[in-house]
């Protein structure tokens, strides 16, 4: 035991206090909303990386647009669009290494695709097909819809990666509403105790459905919560893809060196929370317009133009290709045989435990005795 380990004794209450800052802490930003930047601060990325990042941002937009249209036509379940968050989503996943994992919460289509999930499976997932919770050959854990529940699991996965000596991080993704749950707080605490290689990526899009950030927490930021759990916190302008990319690379280095990081990406959801939401009921047109002028695609484009990299990017044909990819994935999803009720039980565990097997058999026996029960089982239409 030493004075240092319990803290020095001081006769100044101020020195022994922690207070909330008056202002929100700053965001790491490299390219300004007007497109200007300091050349020396920009990370050195090759042309292919820039093109790849831009292409994935277009892909995110195409997936969002097409999913919402399918939902409106009755061919898709509820969908959560990432419009406005393209830089935040792609900058993060694009900066991860091949062996890194992500644990998504649903709004980040391009991140899942970058990490190897197939677009067909993403379509099936949002159609409610159980089988689509298995993402073979992708470093993606099943989308966590129940808010906060995935964070302790992500910490467990990261701990396992550490014990295995893997040179990789776990990227747990969530929104700014998630840290209000007990699960996130317990998970973060464990992460700090176990020094797991995890980056907690919080896309703070300022609203949890209709709840604004100021009503979500008394804290000025999510990143500052890191201190309470012995983690590092970083805040980044989530509409600046180069800042997100650079912050992610540095956060993963810290996580690999033994300090997990909460990386808070401050962004804005330009569309509805999901296809079930009407945002005009809780935010003003002026506010949305303010953010639309700070939209991430055009900011990245300004940078690429200024660097003479835009000439190598044919946006129209990229968009067309993304639509073709979507058409092919949709056709494959339409062809998928959703199977029977056994799908509900089959994929919960790698090897079905006797109790789950017993429940399955009991359910089957029940349906045999009461075929009228099928009238109450809703099967999502395949198309």
Ligand X SMILES: Cc1ncc(C[n+]2csc(CCOP(=O)(O)OP(=O)(O)O)c2C)c(N)n1
Q: How far is CA 204 from CA 43, 85, 287, in A?
A: 23, 10, 16
* Smaller CB separation from ligand X, 205 or 302: 205
Cα separation, 330 vs 334, whole angstroms: 6
What DSSP line would sit under 238-301, residue for residue?
TT-HHHHHHHHHHHHHHHHTT--EEEEEE----S-SSTT--GGGTS-HHHHHHHHTT-HHHHHH
Q: How far is the CB of 291 from ligand X (least distance, A)?
A: 14
**Residue ranges binding ligand X (CB under 6 A):** 107, 145-147, 174-178, 203, 205, 207-209, 273
367/227 Cα distance (integer angstroms):
53
Question: Which residue number places its CB atom closest to ligand X?
Answer: 175
User: Beta-carbon neighbour count of residue 187 at 10 Å?
Assistant: 28
CB of 96 to ligand X, least distance (A): 19
Nearer of residues 205 and 239 to ligand X, judged by Cβ = 205
**Least distance in angstroms from the C-beta of 264 to ligand X:** 12
CA-to-CA distance for 326 and 109, rounded, in angstroms?
12
- Number of CB atoms found within 10 A of residue 290's CB: 11
Choose between 190 and 201: whose C-beta lies nearer to ligand X: 201
Contact 102, 140 (CB under 8 A): yes
CB 83 within 8 A of CB 61: yes
Q: Is the dihedral of CA 34, 39, 41, 45 positive or negative?
A: positive
Q: Which two tokens stand for residue 304?
A: 């690429």
User: Minimum distance between the CB of residue 145 and ligand X, rounded to whole angstroms?
Assistant: 5
Q: Closest separation between CB of residue 244 and ligand X, Å?
A: 16
Left (φ > 0), alpha (ψ -120 to 50) or beta: where does 35 sit? left
Give whichever of 217 and 359 is closer to ligand X, judged by the CB atom.
Answer: 217
> Annotated catalytic sites, by residue?
269, 273, 282
Choice between 148 and 233, CB closer to ligand X: 148
Question: Which one, 50 or 269, has the nearer CB to ligand X?
Answer: 269
Asked if residues 78 and 106 have their Cβ atoms less than 8 Å apart, the reply is no
Do residues 139 and 115 touch, judged by C-beta distance below 8 A? yes
Q: Which of 90, 89, 123 is nearest to 332 (CA)?
A: 123
Q: Kind of pairing, strands 232-237 and 261-266? A: parallel
Q: What is the largest CA-CA distance in the chain?
A: 77
Instruction: Give the nearest distance from C-beta 106 to ligand X in angstroms.
Output: 8
21/145 with CB nearer ligand X: 145
What's the closest the beta carbon of residue 107 comes to ligand X, in angstroms? 5
140/43 Cα distance (integer angstroms): 27
Kindly state the smallest distance separating residue 146's Cβ from ligand X, in Å. Answer: 4
Q: How many helices (H) and strands (E) does the chain have?
A: 14, 7
* Nearer CB in complex with ligand X: 218/308: 218
141, 115 Cβ separation under 8 angstroms: no
């Amino acid at each position: 035991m030493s004075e240092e380990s319990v803290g020095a004794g001081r006769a100044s209450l101020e020195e022994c206090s922690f207070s909330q800052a008056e202002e929100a802490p700053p965001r790491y930003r490299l390219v300004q909303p007007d497109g200007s930047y300091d050349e020396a601060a920009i990370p050195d990325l090759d042309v292919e990386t820039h093109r790849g990042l831009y292409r994935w941002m277009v892909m995110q937009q195409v997936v969002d647009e097409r999913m919402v249209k399918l939902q409106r036509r009755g061919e898709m379940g509820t969908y959560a669009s990432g419009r406005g968050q393209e830089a935040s989503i792609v900058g993060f996943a694009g900066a991860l290494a091949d062996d890194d994992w992500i644990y998504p919460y649903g709004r980040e289509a391009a991140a899942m695709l970058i990490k190897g999930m197939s677009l067909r499976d993403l379509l099936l997932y949002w159609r409610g097909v159980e089988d689509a919770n298995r993402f073979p050959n992708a470093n993606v854990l099943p989308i966590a819809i129940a808010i906060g529940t995935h964070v302790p699991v992500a910490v467990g996965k990261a701990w396992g990666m550490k014990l295995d000596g893997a040179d990789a991080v776990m990227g747990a993704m969530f929104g700014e509403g998630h840290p209000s749950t007990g699960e996130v707080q317990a998970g973060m605490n464990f992460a700090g105790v176990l020094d797991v290689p995890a980056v907690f990526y919080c896309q703070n899009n300022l609203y949890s459905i209709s709840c604004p950030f100021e009503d979500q927490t008394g804290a000025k930021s999510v990143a500052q919560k890191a201190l309470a759990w012995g983690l590092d916190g970083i805040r980044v302008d989530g509409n600046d893809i180069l800042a997100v990319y650079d912050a992610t690379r540095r956060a993963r280095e810290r996580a690999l060196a033994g300090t997990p990081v909460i990386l808070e990406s401050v962004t804005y959801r330009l569309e509805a929370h999901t296809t079930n939401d009407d945002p005009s009921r809780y935010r003003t047109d002026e506010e949305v317009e303010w953010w639309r002028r700070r939209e991430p695609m055009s900011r990245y484009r300004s940078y690429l133009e200024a660097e003479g990299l835009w000439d190598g990017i044919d946006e129209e044909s990229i968009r067309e290709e993304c639509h073709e990819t979507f058409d092919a994935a949709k056709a494959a999803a339409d062809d998928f045989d959703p199977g029977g009720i056994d799908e509900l039980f089959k994929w919960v565990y790698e090897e079905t435990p006797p109790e789950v097997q017993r429940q399955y058999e009991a359910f089957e026996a029940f349906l045999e005795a009461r075929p009228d029960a099928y009238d109450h089982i809703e099967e999502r239409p395949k198309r």
